[in-house]
Amino acid sequence: MALFRKRAAQSEFWRVPPMTGPPETLYQRGIMAVTSGDGPMMMRAGWTLWHMSGMENFQAFNFLTDGYDSWKGKDAAPYSERLRFLQDLFGTLEEQPSPPVPPDIYNAPPESVQAAAAYFCALAWAGSQLWTEADAANDAETMGGYEARIYRALASSHRDFLPPRSIEIAGLLAARLGVDNPFG
C-alpha cells in the first residue's frame, strides 16, 4: 500500500545542482549567491562546478569553502549537517586519484599545476575542517574514525599545496597515531 511506503532518501542539498546550463552560467549563479550571502547556494554551485569542470575551474573550491563558512555562521547550520557535508566532501576527494604533480611546480606552466594545487588544497581543507569541527565538538567517534584517513591524505599531499593549519594538523595526528611527522 503506497500510504506506508518509505520515502526515497533525499539528496544532500549541496549535491543538488542549482540550475542546468553550461559552467559559465552556473558560475554567474554562484557569484549571485556570493553577493546575496546565500551559503547553501554557493555550496551547490561549487559542488556542481567541481563535477562539471574540475575543482580548479570557475572558483569551485571558493564557492564550496566560502559557502560553507556562510552556511555555518549566518545560517547556524547544525553540527550533524556540517559533519555530513565535510565527510562527503573529504570522502569524495579521497576516492579520486590525485592529479599529477610536475617535479618542479615553481617552473612548470601554471596549467600543469592548477589541477593538483586545487585538489590538494581542497583535500587539506576538507580534512582539516572535519578534524577541527569534530575536535571542537568533542566528537571522539568521528575523530577516531577519521584521524588515520586525514593523516594519510595530508601526509601524501605535496607540502607546497598545504596551508599551515593542515601541516600543523598532520603533526598533531602523527603524534596521536605514533608515526613520523611527514613535515617536521
Whether 39 has a pLDDT exceeding 70, the answer reads yes
Model confidence over 53-79: pLDDT tens digits? 999 999 999 999 999 999 999 878 999
Residue 6 lies in a domain: no
- 179 and 151 in contact (C-beta within 8 Å)? yes
86 and 70 in one domain? Answer: no
Shared-domain flag, residues 60 and 150: no
Domain that includes residue 95, residue range: 78-184
d(CA 81, CA 60): 20
How far apart (Å, rounded) are the C-alpha atoms in residues 113 and 136? 34
- Indicate if 143 and 162 belong to the same structural domain: yes
* Mean pLDDT (whole number) for 29-46: 97
What's the pLDDT band for 10 if we cut at 50, 70, 90?
low
184 pLDDT more than 90: no
Determine the Cα–Cα distance for residues 50 and 48; give it in Å rounded to an integer.
5
**Separate counts of helices (H) and strands (E) for the chain:** 7, 0
Q: Which residue has the cell 617536521?
A: 184
In a domain, 2, yes or no: no
Report the pLDDT value the prediction gives residue 76, as an integer from 0 to 100: 84
For residue 100, give the amino acid letter: P
Which is more confident, 2 or 117?
117
**93 lies in the same domain as 181:** yes
Question: Which of these, 87, 86, 48, 40, lies nearest to 67 by C-alpha position?
Answer: 40
Phi, psi of 34 (to 5 degrees): -65, -45
What is the per-residue pLDDT for 141?
Answer: 95
pLDDT in tens, 86-103: 999 999 999 999 999 999
Residue range 122-155, pLDDT digits in tens: 999 999 999 999 999 999 999 999 999 999 999 9
- The whole-number pLDDT of residue 74 equals 82
Closest CA to 134 of 72, 174, 86, 93: 86
What distance in Å separates the CA atoms of residue 14 and residue 4, rounded to the nearest whole number?
Answer: 29
What does the pLDDT average to over 30-52?
97
Q: Say if 85 falls within a structural domain.
A: yes
51 in the same domain as 122: no
pLDDT of the residue at 75: 72
